[in-house]
Amino acid sequence: MRFPATCPRCHHTVQADYTDSGIHDLRCEQCSGAFTVYLRKHKFEMLFDLGTRALMDGYAREAVSSFAASLERFFEFYTRASALEQAAQHGEDFEVAHARLEKTWKLITAQSERQLGAFAMQYLQRQGQPPDFLTPQTLGSEFRNRVIHRGYLPPRQEVEAYAARTFALIDRLLTELGDVASHAQLEQELIYARHMAQQGDEVIAVFEEHPGMFRVRRFGSRLPPKQQANKALPATHTNDAISFQAALRERGELLGQVFKSAGMDV
């Protein structure tokens, strides 16, 4: 999966492969200058956008695995942001808190059930409410497993419904997180800063933000600050299908442009 990057020296377009880390060390084919593109986007956003793009292009089955992976990575995002928020409240140094979190995450990284457990407890602690959406029904686990593990070929409407449900859940939790999401963003910035520090002066750093389905809702929300405080929102604050379709209308075209200009060669 690729995206077009512009050389900061001569403006030549270079095709770059999306990396897992968001760090793209590139060399321009025209002027031979080195540059690094740092993509300010989280894994869950990337995966959800890939799923949306696959759905738009008619790859309904492939879309399901991207949406499912996006939700898992979002739970990680929430857990990290929440843990870092607590560390900040205790006056801990951010780098120390990040290092501790990394060590802890290593212990649960290979087991998604452990991660889900960590998320559930963080949610309870932060919101003061049980994460009652963690049921197989709400998460669409049965559908997901049929598609991913049993080779079920779902019709588009079923995938859209699954996408809408996943979208609504992430959207709701992002709203509940509010500005706290920036703690997880800061982690990414820290990793980028470390990479930058290792590079020579000749390498130009380029920071990019690509449009996506969740872009608008990150780092603060439409809610006034008072409502952003630790209060769980009712599960019904958005209609799944309507909010997903609205986001698709608003942002789908931009999303299409980002992916299309490099070809959807997944």
Residue placing its CB nearer to Zn ion in the complex, 148 or 206: 206
Per residue in 207-231, is it b (16+ CB within 10 Å) or e — as a string? eeebbbbbbebbeebeeeeeebeee
In 3D space, the residue among 84, 92, 40, 43 whose CA is nearest the CA of residue 180 turns out to be: 84
> At its nearest, how many Å lie between Zn ion and the CB of residue 55?
35
> At its nearest, how many Å lie between Zn ion and the CB of residue 8?
8
> How many Å apart are CA 256 and CA 54, to the nearest integer?
10
Q: Which of 4, 25, 27, 31 binds Zn ion (CB under 5 A)?
A: 31
7 binds Zn ion per the rule CB under 5 A: yes
8 binds Zn ion per the rule CB under 5 A: no
Q: Which of 4, 10, 124, 260 binds Zn ion (CB under 5 A)?
A: 10
64 binds Zn ion per the rule CB under 5 A: no
Residue placing its CB nearer to Zn ion in the complex, 7 or 173: 7
Residue placing its CB nearer to Zn ion in the complex, 88 or 206: 206
Q: Which of 2, 9, 61, 195 binds Zn ion (CB under 5 A)?
A: 9
Query: Which runs of consecutive H residues, i.e. helices, occur in the chain?
Result: 43-56, 60-89, 94-108, 112-127, 136-139, 141-150, 156-177, 181-198, 225-228, 240-260
Residue placing its CB nearer to Zn ion in the complex, 34 or 233: 34
The CA-atom distances, in angstroms, between 157 and each of 42, 59, 218, 224 are: 27, 12, 28, 35
28 binds Zn ion per the rule CB under 5 A: yes
> At its nearest, how many Å lie between Zn ion and the CB of residue 203?
13
12 binds Zn ion per the rule CB under 5 A: yes
What DSSP character marks residue 31? T
**Residues near Zn ion, by CB under 5 A:** 7, 9-10, 12, 28, 30-31, 33
